[in-house]
Structure formats: C-alpha cells, structure tokens
Homo-oligomer: A and B are copies of this chain.
Amino acid sequence: ARARELGVVVGRLPTGPLNAITDVEGVLVGHTTIDDGADLHTGVTAIVPEQLFSTWRLPAAVHVGNGYGKLIGSTQIDELGVLESPIVLTGTLSVYRAADALLSYVMRRRPDGLSFNCVAGETNDGYLSDIRRRLITERHVLDALEGASGGQPGEGCVGAGTGTTALGFKAGIGTSSRRLEVEGGVPVTTGALVQANFGGVLTVQGVPMPAAELIPGADGAEPPGNSCMIVVATDAPLDARRLGRLARRAIFAMGRVGASYSHGSGDYAIAFSTAPPQVPLLPDEALTPVFAAVMDAVEEALLNALFKATTTTGYQGHVSHAVPYDRLLHRLHRQRP
C-alpha cells in the first residue's frame, strides 16, 4: 500500500491527483522489470518529459549529495543548465549500456543531431540480483522509454527498483507530488520519483522503525553499494540555478526517513522544469514553499518505495523483507497517539 493508504501523511500540502511525478503535466514514466524469481532482480525506469520533444532542452540541475555513484551526463548539465534527454535509471553495472540505449532512443527522434548528452543514473542492486551478469540490453531500455506513460506509475519492486533495498527493508521505486500556489496565485505542481537503495534506520513521521525490531530474525546486514537516485520535476518556471537549490533539498529530505548518508551511498538528485521558456522565472524569494513541496514529495516518495515493495528472495538466496504494515502501524500509533 502507498503511505497515504496506510494513513501516513507527509506534510500539509495537497498532492496532485495521482500523487506521482506524472502529475507534472507531460512527465511520463516507464518501467522494464526483470525478475526471474531467483538470481535476477533488476530493471530499468525511464522518466520522459514530453516537453523535451519540442526543444530538446529543459532547464535542469544536478546536486550530488554523496558522489559515490555513476551519474552519466552531469558535467554538461552543470555547464549548460539543460536536460537534453529523458532520464534512465538502472543497476550499477548496466548504467553505461542504459546510456547507450538512451542515445539510440534520442538519435531516432533527432535524425540530424551529432551530439547528445544522455542522462543515466544507477544504484547497486547486487544484493538481490546477479549484477555481474549485466543483462540489461538496449531492448530493455527502449521498452521502458517507449512504454512510458502518464497515469499512476508502478512503485516498489518494478523497473530500476526491482532489486533495491533501503533502511533494512525491501525498497524500490516510489513517487509522490505536491501542489501549491506561488506568488500571484499561480499553481505549481512538483513531483518526485526515487530509486531507493540506501542505509539507515527507517523513520516514519519521526518514529524510528529499526528493521531488526520490526522483522524478528532479520539479520539486518546492510547490502553494500547503498545509494539513492532522486528525480524532481516541476512545472514552476525555474532556471538551472534555482533548480539546483531544489535538488539540494531533495537530498536533505532523505534524512527525514532515516538515511545515514554513509560513505558508500551515492546520493544524487536531478531536478528539471517543464515550464515553457517564455514564462518569467519565479524569484528566489518565492522558493521556500517550493522547497517544502520538494522535501515533502521526496519523503513520501521514499516511503512509497518501501511500502509498495514486497518481500524478495534473490541472488545467492539473499532475502529482503517488506515493511510489515501491522507492526509498523502499531508502533506508529503507539508513539503518535
């Protein structure tokens, strides 16, 4: 169940109709899921802003919370402040292939282009999937891209989240959104999608939920290579500098669910705007509520990534347990009467 379905509500801002990154108009999400019930639990998730298809450049920024990761495409975004491709997420050892497949996708749509900056991120799903087999192919990536759609995105054990774990539990992909009005009554929708795969102690509305206590007998061994990829989309008119400020808050929000920000966690956020270029930019002074929207959406997306995931047995028999709702809610209600 999603966090809200369990009664866990983050913050006071309303969500969009789907409570998903796809509430930002034109933003599509697609997944390719690979799960053989045994050694293979991996996949691809694609975030496709349709606005790309006209100008092939949307204002964008990357913030690196902890650089132990392989985000492809960041230096050009830093320089030019634009996103030129959809964003693809996958497992660590498939990220180069995913970027190459993304290039194929973009080249087909831009038959005259000679240079494209493809953006692909990864986290390490090697605890539940035989990562060294590198089985993601161009076809898997194109399927995620071409199958991307509006509507409710899959969450939990799907796409790039098929094999990820976080905070001692099975995790995966999660998403959420927030709506607010900025200066002048202009409505703004901001959404987040996360690939959750990092360490720490799950914290729900401030209440710690240690995996070792919620799942008796779980060994609590933290898989190596923990990381988190966060994608933030907004229809607010923002340039790269301002989007960089949003991206930073996305990383800050990880702390709210108990992230330990450990050495080995490659924590990255990419933020982009779908607003048409001719709209005047929001002034920095108007950003504080947008920052709050980003933090709330990321926090809830992270909870959804865990709450929608299901117990998974994978590579070498490794087991990652889903969050047990009953114990979690019991604990939550005891401490939040």
Contact = CB atoms under 8 A, between A and B. Distances in A.
A306 to B, nearest CB: 17
A67 interface: yes
A17 to B, nearest CB: 26
Interface stretch (A20-28, A93-101, A147-155, A157-165): A93-101
A252 interface: yes
Interface residues of A, number: 71
Name the residue in A131, A225, A260 with the highest tally of chain B Cβ atoms < 10 Å from its Cβ.
Answer: A260
How many copies of this chain does the complex contain?
Answer: 4
B263 A284 contact: yes
A30 to B, nearest CB: 19
A292 interface: yes
Contacts of A264: 285, 288
A67 B79 contact: yes
B96 A72 contact: yes
Contacts of A284: 80, 263
Contact of A114 (B75, B118, B224, B249): B224
B64 A68 contact: no
A76 interface: yes
A334 interface: yes
Nearest to A117: B70
Interface of A: 64-76, 78-81, 92-93, 96-97, 99-100, 103, 107, 114-118, 124, 126, 131-132, 134, 203, 205-208, 224-225, 239-241, 245, 248-249, 251-253, 255-256, 260-264, 266, 268, 284-285, 287-288, 291-292, 295, 334-337
